[in-house]
Every structure is written in structure tokens, then in C-alpha cells.
Amino acid sequence: FYAVAKGRVPGIYTTWDECQQQVTGLTGNKHQKFLTLEHAKSYLSQHGIDTNNDTPKPPPSSSVSSSIPSTWKRGQHGAKPYTKPVASVSKPESKAGWDAVYSDGACKGNGKPGSVAGIGVWWGRDDPR
């Protein structure tokens, strides 16, 4: 049994995959594996989660929903790929007079509130900029 005290949907799960879906990617998640349902319920109770009506959630059914058209194939969606014509670009004959710039960037917590990003640019040794 897998008890999720802090996750997407707190509760008791019967497989690790189900538990992972509730906690993966969430900062501060709280979950633990137990050998018995009683121990899992006790863990949730200690974290203020009501377990009186909470029974383990069964694994998802592998049957296909009747609301999905039988003509659809797995992995298909309604959007068609967009292919933009590529403009022809001629390469310069010489790189003389061109600046060489080296850059790098990173973002801690990308896509999440409070994320922080930074970049670095290096123009080369002894560059006066």
C-alpha cells in the first residue's frame, strides 16, 4: 500500500505507478509504502487526512472507453503538423569581420512560479565591451 499525504490527490494506492502519478514533480510531497492497509491509514491520519471512507484506489482499467471513436489510433490527435517553407539562405563566402559570441543560459525551476534564470555571454579574450 502506498499512502500519499501530500500530493495531487491524497489517499491510499495499491501500486507504485499510481503513487508516482500523485507525487512526481511536486515539491514537498509526502508519501510512504506500507505492508498493511491499517498502517497506511494511520500514516494518513497523522497527517490530518480522513481515512474513514478511504479505501485503496484500484489500478486503472485497461478497457477502452466507448466514447472514443474506434477509428482513432493510439497517439493520434486532431491537429495536423504545420510545415513552414524554408527560405533559402546563402552562406557568406568569408567570416572575416564577424564577431564570435559564446553564450549559455539556465533556469532553476523552469515553468514554475518563482523560477530564476540567468545567461552568460563571452565575446572573447581581452574584448573591450
* Own/partner pairs, 119-124, CB within 8 angstroms, 24+ separation: 123/99, 124/100
* pLDDT, tens only, 63-116: 555 555 555 555 555 556 667 777 777 776 777 777 778 888 888 888 888 888
Give the per-residue pLDDT at 5.
92
Q: Identify whether 26 is part of a domain.
A: yes
Residue-averaged pLDDT of the chain: 78
Instruction: Determine the average pLDDT of the residues in 115-126.
Output: 84
Output the domain CATH number for residue 8: 3.40.970.10
Is residue 33 very low, low, confident or very high in pLDDT (cuts 50, 70, 90)? very high
Range of the domain at 35: 2-46
Q: Identify whether 15 is part of a domain.
A: yes
Q: Identify whether 28 is part of a domain.
A: yes
Query: How many distinct structural domains can be found in the chain?
Result: 1
Angle (nearest 5°) at CA 9 between 40 and 113: 125
DSSP symbols for 55-76: -PBPPPP-SPPTTS-TT--TT-
Which candidate, 47, 48, 53, 54, places its Cα nearest to that of 1?
A: 54
Give the per-residue pLDDT at 41.
92
Give the per-residue pLDDT at 63.
52
Give the per-residue pLDDT at 127.
79
Q: Identify whether 115 is part of a domain.
A: no
Q: Where are the beta strands (DSSP E) in 1-129?
A: 2-6, 11-13, 30-33, 102-108, 116-122
Q: Identify whether 63 is part of a domain.
A: no
Q: Identify whether 36 is part of a domain.
A: yes
